[in-house]
Structure 1
Amino acid sequence: MDKDTFRKYGHEIVDWIADYFENVRHYPVRSEAGPGDIISKLPKEPPAGPEEMKTILKDFKEIILPGMTHWQHPGWFAYFPANNSPASVLGEMLTAGLGAQCMSWETSPAATELEEVVTDWLRQMTGLPEGMKGVIHDTASTATLTALLTAREVATGFTCNETGLYGFPGSREEQEAGTGKATRTGTGNRSGEKTAAGPALRVYASAEAHSSIEKGVRMAGYGRKNLIYIEIDENYAMRPDKLEEAIQEDIERGFRPACVIATVGTTSSTAIDPVDEIGAVCKKHGIWLHVDAAMAGTAAILEEKRDLMKGAEYVDSLVFNPHKWMMTNFDCSAYFVRNPEHLIKTMSINPEYLKTGRDAQVNNYRDWGIQLGRRFRALKLWFVIRHYGVDGLKEIVRNHIRMAQWLGEQVRVSNHFELLAPISASLVCFRRNDGNSSEKELDRINRELLMRINETGEVFLTHTLLSGRYTIRLSVGQRTTTLADVERAWEIINQAAGGNR
């Protein structure tokens, strides 16, 4: 493609994106395509020769676009948001145009140093302690796995990478005595199942923790049965007293507690685990504390929500996602650590072909995560923070919280709906309840209600289970959403419920 053709189609695509931003509300939020519809319209074999860009764009509009779910729609109230913004898209265009592989300072000095600066901006914006250092990963799932791997190495004296998960000394006493024995047999769960030699490492999380934690525990070699879910309170937050009990019991039975994962904003209800109390337990026992603040962490940029980070002085690692609620398109996940040396010692592999003369003077972010290859994610985040300013981002987040509070009040005063969880950020959890039906019948009523709501095409909501009850979730957080859109969603909900408020 010559430069003139590139310019022509580049302008056309930018114009299309601008029109899409303006008109996205006119699409159905969810695609109306069925399984296999898109595949049936695509050739089974790749083209042998080049095709005109005009033809490719035509197929995008006629085949791909009808199969897209529109996450930027103002009626998007499902899951959590995955926002973009014009500033973010422009930054992403430059990232694609530069085509840089940002694994080290040498391969892209500006990318490395900009990442260092913008992650410290985020630290300041959210009130994290001075001295915590950040890196940008793709997702919170990757960051959580990174935390679990680092916690594993810290718990085993950085021997696990060398000898395998059960090759480290069998007890703290044996390590101190230098015997190196690995004869203790732990139990793989609370029923007493045996594991390989060496004390099994334990991970603790709220019963409401994200599914990526279980996946990370599996991938890091702890084993699913060594993930202990801690009892929650009436607000779905972890109970620190139950955490202390579980840790004490495991120590007495020969397990080695390695990591506690607290959640600031659970997926089901945005419950807030008490990080300060959990942190005190972790400090007492010398356990790595990781905080998953993927969604709600952004709210900490507000002074009135700064208590979300209460207890941050105890935290060893924390993740939150600018790609959820900070107008930065997917993917962009900010991961912070109190001691980068633990992370680097866990992750660093330095073959001769990657060594440079400046390695001791700079950050090489390839050593701060799992991947060697790295995108220039900091650029779009830099664009966003500079374009909106901290005050502009605060106002967006504050407005979303106000909208959620407005909706929550409508549910509270309703005769036919009830709130099922506190509104700690911008998620409203509710259900229809006529006061006369059994729990089983209420589950059926709300399952069918959600289906009718989503069939309108104007809004998209999802569900969860809270205390075993089928719960409808409405998450406010899309850049394009206004109070009028939330009011319309409430109207649709009531219409789908038969007009009863």
Structure 2
Amino acid sequence: MDSQEFRKHGKEMIDFVADYWDTIRERQPLPDVQPGYIWNLMPNEAPKEKETWEAIFGDLNKVVVDANTHWHHPHFFAYYPTANSYPAILGDILSAGLAPIGFTWKSSPSCTELELVITDWFAKMIGLPSMFLNQDPGPGAGIIQCTASDSTLVALLAARARAVKLHSQGQSWMGKLWKSDIVNKSWQLIQKHSSISNGSQAAHDSAKMINPDSSLFPRLVAYCSDQAHSSVDKAALLAGVKMRKLQTSRGSNYSLKGETLAAAIKEDRAQGLIPFYVVATVGTTPTCAVDDVASLGKICQPEGIWLHVDAAYAGSAAVCPEYRYLTAGTELVDSFNFNAHKWLLVNFDCSPMWFRDATEAEAYFSVDPLYLKHEHQNTAADYRHLQIGLGRRFRSLKAWFVIRSMGISGLQTHIRSMCVLAQRFADLVAADSRFEIPAPVHLGLVCFRLKGENAASEKLLKLINEDRRIHLVPAKAHDIYFLRLAICSTKTTSDDILFAWKVICELTERVHEDII
């Protein structure tokens, strides 16, 4: 394909995508296919000779689109939203067209520099403390990771290395860690003036010396709420450390509190374990609960325990002043993350993450072979030191396009409209005596269930997803099974909420008939 063919077929693809969005209502949110469907549509081997673009293009619907789960369908209410918009798509086109691999500043100066600005924009939009800004003279920094799962793992690995280093130095974990001479001396050579900003060679040299002793790993213990995302469990599994899930209660809206954490730390220390990492969730997947970040931070910071905030879904809502409570207590945390690709109209993947002290994390992730060195590495940001992989996409482009195209006020309007739709659905549920709402309605999520045993709600969900007119997923909190309706699509309207409720009520009658 030459440039002229690319121009022609590229325009066709743009039309194809626009037509898909314009006609998405004509589809069902869930495709009617079974695993292995594709083997009846494609040959078993790759073609020996090239095929025409027309032949390839002709297969798009039957092979890809017709068998796709349509996350942006107005009747898709499962999981949480995955954002998208035309400006975001255009950003991805430019990113793919430029195709840089922005692991160092020199490998793509604009990829690095634009990300520095965009993460500062995001931080200011949601009300994070200035210590997280790239512009701030302190050691904080922002980066765009792939997902919240990556952010949780990166923070855990940095926390694990911190724990091993401090323990090897004989530091008391019950002391005032942040004020200790040992810690202050440990980080004298690792200041913000390293490769994350305007650096020194000493930071790189210090980073090379850090090699955590894995013999201590079996004694390390991390904490999270019993409502935390499965990616937190996975991070602990990959890092080879214990993860203790702390119990929440329905009475506290499933929020993890500082006193619960303090009791667990005391208990584990008595068993010879080393508490080192806490994940606070702001907007849990089952119920959109918000952990008490401020009270957790007051426990963690004096102890040197790394506190990471996973605000994957709910963090975006903090762009609205009325939801700014979602970032309360972040002055006490070590790292913070949310997914712009959930609510802020930036398509997957775009997951901003911030560090209180990026140089501390960088010290554990820095690997500096000769072929990656460059003449600006002591005065420029090299994001490879704050992530697991080396290569990285030009993710900030699509965020830049979206923020400029929508403005903060446009993004606020979008989020508020989705919250209004959720409340509209909640009002319908609350008015029906057959149903109950097991957790407070929060942001764009409504949890609901049929009164009585879990089996009735399980049956209802099965009927809904077999019916395929709408799509929902379930959750459980303390053995209470319920259905979740999340407002996901930018195309969902009040009429779509009424349609969803009509389908639910119709299928509820069948549930009751089966039970009787």
Same fold (TM over 0.5): yes
1:130-279 equivalent positions in 2, closer than 5 A: 130-132=130-132, 133-157=141-165, 169=168, 172=171, 200-222=219-241, 226-234=242-250, 235-279=253-297
Q: Give the CA deviation at 1:366.
A: 0.9
CA shift, 1:456, in A, is 3.3
* Distance across 1 between alignment mates of 2:22 and 2:51: 30
The separation in 2 between residues aligned to 1:305 and 1:395, in whole angstroms, is: 13
Residues 198, 109 of structure 1: alpha-carbon distance in 2 compared, 3 angstrom cutoff: closer
Deviation at 1:255, TM superposition (A): 1.5
Q: Deviations over 1:73-94 (max 9, x none)?
A: 1111001111211110011111
1:116 is aligned to 2:116: yes
What does residue 385 of structure 1 align with? 403
2:485 partner SS:
strand
> Post-superposition shift, 1:125?
0.4
- Specify the SS of the correspondent of 2:168: coil
User: 1:4, 1:199 → 2: CA distance?
Assistant: 60
138 and 173 in structure 1: CA distance in 2 versus 1, 3 angstrom threshold: closer
- Contact map agreement 2:217 2:240 (CA 8 A) in 1: no
Aligned pairs for 1:14-163 (under 5 A) are 14-132=14-132, 133-157=141-165
Q: 1:170 to 1:3 in 2, by over 3 A?
A: closer
Partner secondary structure for residue 59 of structure 2: helix
Deviation at 1:40, TM superposition (A): 2.6
Correspondence for 1:448:
459
- SS of the equivalent of 1:238 reads coil
In 2, are the aligned partners of 1:237 and 1:272 still within 8 Å (CA)? Answer: yes
Tell me how far 1:406 sits from its aligned partner: 1.5
Where 2:54 maps in the other structure, the secondary structure is helix
- Gaps spanning 5+ residues in structure 2: where? 133-140, 174-179, 183-213
Aligned to 1:337: 355
Cross-structure match for 2:477: 466
| 1:412 maps to 2:435 | no
- Measure the CA separation in 1 of the matches of 2:393 and 2:231: 22
Q: CA RMSD in A?
A: 2.1
Count of aligned residue pairs for this structure pair: 466
SS in 2 for 1:67: coil
Q: Against the structure 1 CA distance between its residues 500 and 371, is the aligned structure 2 distance closer, same or farther, given a 3 Å change threshold?
A: closer
Per-residue CA deviation, residues 346-384 of structure 1 (Å, 9 max, x unaligned), is: 111110000001001111111110110000000011111
| Aligned twin of 1:371 | 389
TM-score by length of structure 2 reads 0.87
Q: Distance in 1 between matches of 2:425 and 2:216?
A: 55
Give distance in 2, aligned partners of 1:346 and 1:270.
33
Aligned-pair distance for 1:221?
2.2
Q: What is the deviation of 1:500?
A: 11
Contact conserved, 1:200 with 1:256, CA < 8 A, in 2?
yes
C-alpha spacing 1:469/1:199, structure 2 compared with 1 (3 Å): closer
Partner of 1:188: none
Q: Please state whether the residue corresponding to 2:287 is helix, strand or coil.
A: coil
1:91-120 Cα deviation digits (max 9, x unpaired): 111111111111111011111010000110
Query: Which letter does structure 2 place at the counterpart of 1:155?
Result: A
Other-structure match for 2:206: none
Contact 1:170 1:198 in 2 (8 A): no
CA spacing shift, 1:500–1:416, aligned 2, 3 Å: farther
Measure how far apart 1:323 and its partner are: 0.8
CA distance in 2, matches of 1:198, 1:386: 46
Structure 1: gaps (5+ residues) = 159-167, 179-194
1:385 counterpart letter in structure 2: I
CA distance in 2, matches of 1:264, 1:277: 14
140-149 vs 446-455, greater mean Cα deviation: 446-455
Q: Equivalents in 2 of 1:318, 1:325: separation in Å?
A: 17
Does structure 2 retain, via aligned residues, the 8 Å contact 1:199–1:256? no
Checking the alignment, whether the CA contact within 8 Å between 1:171 and 1:198 is kept in structure 2 is: no
**Which residue identity lines up with residue 367 of structure 1 in the other structure?**
H
Return the offset for 1:481: 1.5
TM-score with structure 1 length normalisation?
A: 0.89
2:74–2:496 CA contact under 8 A, matched in 1: yes
> What's the offset of the Cα at 1:39?
2.5
Aligned to 2:23, the other structure's residue is in SS state helix
Which residue of the partner structure matches residue 497 of structure 2? 486
Task: Identify the match of residue 314 of structure 2 among 296, 307, 310.
Answer: 296
Q: 3-state DSSP class of the match of 2:221?
A: strand
1:420 is displaced (CA, Å) by 0.8
Paired AA for residue 12 in structure 1: E
Contact 1:450 1:462 in 2 (8 A): yes
Runs of 4+ in 1 over 6 A off after TM superposition: none
Deviation at 1:146, TM superposition (A): 0.2
- Partner of 1:497: helix, strand, or coil? helix
Letter of the structure 2 residue corresponding to residue 107 of structure 1: S
**What's the secondary structure of 2:481's corresponding residue?**
strand
Cα offset for 1:239? 2.8
Mapped to 1, the partners of 2:39 and 2:119 lie a distance apart of: 41
Shift of 1:253: 2.4
Q: Does the CA-based 8 Å contact 1:145-1:216 persist in structure 2?
A: yes
Query: How far apart, in 1, do the equivalents of 2:168 and 2:411 lie?
Result: 50
1:233 Cα offset (Å): 2.3
Give, in angstroms, the shift of residue 62 of structure 1.
2.0
What one-letter code is carried by the residue in structure 2 that aligns with 1:481?
T
By how many angstroms is 1:219 displaced?
Answer: 1.0
> Does residue 441 of structure 2 align to residue 423 of structure 1?
yes
| 1:250-290 per-position Cα deviation (integer Å, ceiling 9, x unaligned) | 22222111101100000111000010111111123221100
Give CA-to-partner distance per residue, 1:375-431, whole Å, 9 cap, x none. 000001111111111000000001111111121122122111110101121110000
Task: Name which of structure 1's ranges 60-69 and 330-339 shifts more when overlaid on structure 2.
Answer: 60-69
Equivalent residues in 2 for 1:341-352, closer than 5 Å: 341-352=359-370
The structure 1 residue matched to 2:301, chosen from 259, 283, 302, is 283
